[in-house]
Structure 1
Amino acid sequence: MATFQIEGGQKLKGEIQPQGAKNEALQVLCAVLLTSEEVRIDNIPNIRDVNKLIDILENLGVKIKKLGHGSYTFQGDDLNLEYLESKLFKEEGSSLRGSIMIVGPLLGRFGKGYIPRPGGDKIGRRRLDTHFEGFIKLGAKFRYNKEERFYGVEAPKGLKGTYMLLEEASVTGTANIIMAAVQAKGTTTIYNAACEPYIQQLCKMLVAMGAKISGIGSNLLTIEGVKEFHGCHHNILPDMIEIGSWIGLAAMTKSEITIKNVSWDNLGLIPVTFRKLGITIEQKGDDIHIPAHTKGYEVQSFIDGSIMNISDAPWPGFTPDLLSIMLVVATQARGSVLIHQKMFESRLFFVDKLIDMGAKIILCDPHRATIIGHDFQSKLKATTMTSPDIRAGISLLIAALSAKGTSTIHNIEQIDRGYENIDGRLRALGAKITRI
């Protein structure tokens, strides 16, 4: 188990280039299974979860060439489907939740797809029903081996287009169903589809490969099934969750940071929501500039004067992946804020570590926390802690960078799952952080 030691209280300065989007990478990497032709993908982040999926694709028989940093070609013209029922795949697939998205393209192309019960962040129950209910509506038969915790779907006669109303706007569920539906006979209509930029990017990639999809960017997708897919060249967006993390870091450490090439049009409510905490965000071309908040930042209130409430929602609402960052940033704001995490039931449980550091937080229930900001009158105190998941891990790291003294964070493999070379990039900005 690796560890970070952080000497807090350092002001940072400089420019940072965001990595490619983790959530988009996991989707578009699975899409290479749709064709026997070569697919090139650029701006792939070098992080644990993505590298695990690349290993799974390689073990499945995909020919992979690394062209340079973040650039790869993939060709699935000679796949080994027996690997899907091997002990190795059951071990590798169960450690990565994103691996479930190989099922959709394999089901459509070969009539079958298997997956062990996937792992991922420990942030509460994360149902897989949306995925499999979608496959069943397309004509697949579902089976589950309870002893081996292994899922399977089969459609030996192929999939048939249909209408479906998704019970939840699951991002991975929508992606998985889309990759199956593009190969089904006839027309598939998906209502209450997720419409995050990641899904839009996946759809644009599939269209470049030969798919027929209309309604991209909305929650109503219409898909005309096609038989053959060809290769394409796809470029992954910058990671908006990492961009939000850098914004929070700059504010908490009173640092002046410029985040380069952020793709403003795909940030949605992220800048607006940080401004609600009083953080100054300046747009310079396609860059974000965060000036040093030497006088702190003040939480806004609603028009009627009531306490600010920041909550998550499916896109175009505020992404749940940044609520942990917002919560940490609020601990040093001037004023109070209620953080309402609606979508995951255990994501706020890391706040006990912030309370140990001196933060004023009332955990109302598993979904809500009230934060009374210190206005930098009282700094957080350094401590020893363990990272429970990716987003809580980066939030604790931001807290440690702003705290007085030297903090230790264990289990930083969780942070490495979603953030590329985070310690090296922080040191380039002036942070005092050591990996042990």
Structure 2
Amino acid sequence: MGSFRIEGGHRLQGEITPQGAKNEALQILCAVLLTSEPVTVHNIPDIVDVNKLIAILEDLGVKIQKKGKGSYTFRSDDINMDYLQSDAFKADGRSLRGSIMLVGPLLARFGQGYIPKPGGDKIGRRRLDTHFEGFIKLGASFRYNKEEHFYGVEAKKLKGTDMLLDEASVTGTANIVMAAVLAEGTTTIYNAACEPYLQQLCKMLNRMGARITGVGSNLLTIEGVESLGGTEHRMLPDMIEIGSWIGLAAMTQSELTIKDVSWDDLGLIPTTFRKLGITLERRDDDIHIPAHTDGYEIQNYIDGSILTIADAPWPGLTPDLLSILLVVATQARGEVLIHQKMFESRLFFVDKLLDMGAKVILCDPHRATVIGHNFQSTLKATTMVSPDIRAGVSLLIAALSAKGTSTIHNIEQIDRGYEAIDTRLQAIGARITRV
């Protein structure tokens, strides 16, 4: 188990460029299975979860050629479907939640898709019903091996249909879209997720020859086609990493510039940080955060009541940033209620902030009230364990703002979602060492 040793209490300075989007990469890489022609993808982040998926694709028989940093060409013209029944796949697929999105394209092109129950962050229940209910509505038969926790869907030919999703699941929508593009007839998906990364997937599929309309809305219409061709695609910057660097700048009272953020795809993220009193300046496609040497003050509602920050399906606020926003609020002037609606275990890292001296009341598994210190008392350095990707980075930000030396164990969780985070932070002056 790896660790970070962090000497906190130092201001940072400079520019940082966000990596390619992790959540987009997991969708796009699965989509290469939909065609036998080459698909070239740029700005792929070099992180554990993405590299695991690339390794699974290679074991499936996908020919992979690295073109340069973050750029790969994939060709799925000789797929080994027997690998899906192997013990190796059952182990590899179980270690990566994003592997669930292999099922849709495999089902569409080869008539069968299998997956072990995926793992991932321990942040609460993340059910798979939406995925498989969608496949069943498209005409697939479903089976589940309870002993091995192994799922399977099979169909001679998928047929388009109308469906209303029971939740606006991003991965569920992506999986169903990838299955429907090669189905016979027309499919409509209502209550579809519409995140920028899903829009990116739909745009890429359309360039490959798919016929998807309604992109960016919660009603997608997909006219099935016989086959798809190759294409070239560039992934967006990772909005969660962008939010992480905004929070880091505020907590360490540092002047930072975040480069090439794709402002138009950030949704409510800049607005939400501004509600916490953080100044963000738009400079072309960059975000400049000045040093908040006088702190930052949380805005109450117009009637004076306490601000609530809650997650919601896009275009609402992404749940992946609530841990960061909670940590940032610990040094604000004022109070805020953080309401994590989607996952019931994601706020449990708060006990580690309490050890550092933060004033946080955990109301229940979904809600926490934060009373800001206004930098009148700094957080205390401590030793802690990273429970998941986002909480791990939140604790890292807290440690960089704290006086003294902190240690974070289980940093493999952080490496799953953030590329070379220690060396990139060192480049802007952070005192962080990988042990």
How high is the TM-score relative to the length of structure 2?
1.00
* Structure-2 separation of matches of 1:358 and 1:232: 52
Q: Name the counterpart of 2:49.
A: 49
* Structure-2 separation of matches of 1:343 and 1:372: 23
* Structure-2 separation of matches of 1:294 and 1:184: 58
Q: Name the counterpart of 1:381.
A: 380
Is residue 123 from structure 1 mapped to residue 133 from structure 2 by the alignment?
Answer: no
Give the match's secondary structure for 2:184: coil
Could you tell me how far 1:176 is from its partner in structure 2? 0.2
Is residue 80 from structure 1 mapped to residue 80 from structure 2 by the alignment?
Answer: yes
Is residue 27 from structure 1 mapped to residue 27 from structure 2 by the alignment?
Answer: yes
Aligned sequence identity (%) = 80
CA offsets 1:157-203 (integer angstroms, 9 cap, x no match): x1000000000000000000000000100000000000000100000
* Structure-2 separation of matches of 1:154 and 1:347: 35
Could you tell me how far 1:353 is from its partner in structure 2? 0.1
Q: Name the counterpart of 2:295.
A: 296
Paired letter, 1:130:
T
CA offsets 1:264-308 (integer angstroms, 9 cap, x no match): 000000000000000000000000000000000000000100001
Q: Name the counterpart of 2:247.
A: 248
Give the match's secondary structure for 2:253: coil
Counterparts of 1:223-242 in structure 2, within 5 Å, are 223-242=222-241
Q: Name the counterpart of 1:143.
A: 143
* Structure-2 separation of matches of 1:130 and 1:409: 36
CA offsets 1:243-264 (integer angstroms, 9 cap, x no match): 0000000000000000000000
CA offsets 1:370-393 (integer angstroms, 9 cap, x no match): 000000000000000000000000
Paired letter, 2:22:
K
* Structure-2 separation of matches of 1:184 and 1:229: 12
* Structure-1 separation of matches of 2:315 and 2:146: 37
Counterparts of 1:17-416 in structure 2, within 5 Å, are 17-156=17-156, 158-416=157-415
Paired letter, 1:324:
S
Paired letter, 1:288:
I
Is residue 433 from structure 1 mapped to residue 417 from structure 2 by the alignment?
Answer: no
CA offsets 1:53-80 (integer angstroms, 9 cap, x no match): 0000000000000010000000000000
Q: Name the counterpart of 1:11.
A: 11
Could you tell me how far 1:133 is from its partner in structure 2? 0.2
* Structure-2 separation of matches of 1:174 and 1:34: 16
Paired letter, 2:342:
M
How high is the TM-score relative to the length of structure 1?
1.00
* Structure-1 separation of matches of 2:59 and 2:240: 29
Could you tell me how far 1:351 is from its partner in structure 2? 0.2
* Structure-1 separation of matches of 2:182 and 2:102: 14
* Structure-2 separation of matches of 1:148 and 1:369: 37
Once superposed, which parts of structure 1, at least 4 consecutive aligned residues long, lie more than 2 Å away?
A: none
* Structure-2 separation of matches of 1:227 and 1:290: 49
* Structure-1 separation of matches of 2:121 and 2:225: 35
CA offsets 1:206-255 (integer angstroms, 9 cap, x no match): 00100000000000000000011100000000000000000000000000
Give the match's secondary structure for 1:429: coil
* Structure-2 separation of matches of 1:80 and 1:424: 38
* Structure-2 separation of matches of 1:227 and 1:23: 28
Listed as ranges, the gaps of 5+ residues in structure 1 are: none
Could you tell me how far 1:48 is from its partner in structure 2? 0.2
